[in-house]
Amino acid sequence: MRTMPLMLKTTLSYCAAGALDLLFPRVCAACCIRIREPAALCTDCAVRLAAQINPSYCGCCGEDVGPFLLRDGRCPQCRNSRPGYARMYRVARYADAMRDLILRFKYGREPTLDAMLGDLLADLVAGCRELDGVTAWVPIPSPRRRIWQRGFQPTRLLADRLSLRTGRPRCDALRLIRRVTPQKLLHRDERTANIHGAFGVRRGELPHGAIVGLVDDVFTTGATLREAARTLRRAGAAEVYGVVLAVAHVGADVPAQV
Ligand SMILES: [Zn+2]
Ligand SMILES: [Zn+2]
């Protein structure tokens, strides 16, 4: 009889969990299948996401590069590049589970994804000593029309999570000062011209000598990050680092940002 209260408790907790599952079914954040375990991803998606995370990549163009080809963190093609940012850091390649997560984050906003993807960035930052000196997280701005359509700005949510985790502020220093064609619609060679001169800095928002962590979700050719970094440097930032969720190859089905 002594075991009855425990059995009753266990049974009740299963019933409660079952009822909660019926009311709020737990699903994988990437593929949406039902899961029982209290995790954001199903086992299959967690494994697929892990496969997209490769710590050996170029800190300028973001491409996967074998560790023996990297010199000062750069691939042979980028050794003499001057992109305007000191280095870019990425969580993963834009493929598979990471692509599913980003698409769901941008097109079907869910609070759990804000936190989950923001935490992936925060974990990346925590592992990079160079980023200890960042004094402000600056999100790459979206066109106003797109913010109205979505009701939120994805990069700002990511910067908010970084701010929460690191204790350093989000700074909305950048703004778009003219209309631009979504970069995904353009050829690689057209993207730099499309974004050239498109950013301005809000007066008084950027402290002089700031060390900026520029926050973006997807990096493709790097044209947006380069232009944003140069704009911030001209406005007085001492250093700029790029911090992105994923790096896509040109031609990948990337959601439009700018
Ligand atoms: Zn899944
Ligand atoms: Zn490179």
Mean residue pLDDT across the chain: 85
Ligand located closest to 222 CA: 2
User: What pTM does this model have?
Assistant: 0.84
C-alpha closest to that of 166 among 209, 123, 211, 215: 123
Q: How far is the CA of 66 from the centre of ligand 2 (A)?
A: 11
Q: What is the model's pLDDT at position 38?
A: 66
How far, in Å, is the centroid of ligand 2 from the Cα of 142? 26
Same domain, 21 and 129: no
Are 116 and 200 members of one domain? yes
Strands 211-219 and 199-201: unpaired
Q: Structural domain of residue 173, as residue ranges?
A: 55-247
Both 34 and 64 in one domain: the answer is: no
3-class state of residue 56 by DSSP: coil
- Same domain for 22 and 97, yes or no, is no
Burial (CB count <10 Å: 0-12, 13-18, 19+), residue 169? middle
Give 24's pLDDT tier (boundaries 50, 70, 90). Answer: low
Q: How far is the CA of 23 from the centre of ligand 1 (A)?
A: 20
Q: Identify which ligand lies nearest to the alpha carbon of 29.
A: 1
Q: What is the CATH number of the domain that holds 239?
A: 3.40.50
Q: What would the pLDDT profile of 135-170 be if each residue is shown by its tens digit?
A: 999 999 998 888 888 888 999 999 999 999 999 999
pLDDT at 254: 60
Same domain, 167 and 59: yes
Summarize pLDDT for 195-252 with one digit per residue, the tens: 888 999 998 889 889 999 999 999 988 999 999 999 999 999 999 999 999 999 765 5
Q: How many domains does the chain have?
A: 2
* Domain assignment present for 47: no
Distance 250 CA to ligand 2 centre (A): 14
Nearest bound ligand to the CA of residue 30 = 1
Q: 85 CA distance to ligand 1 centroid (A)?
A: 35
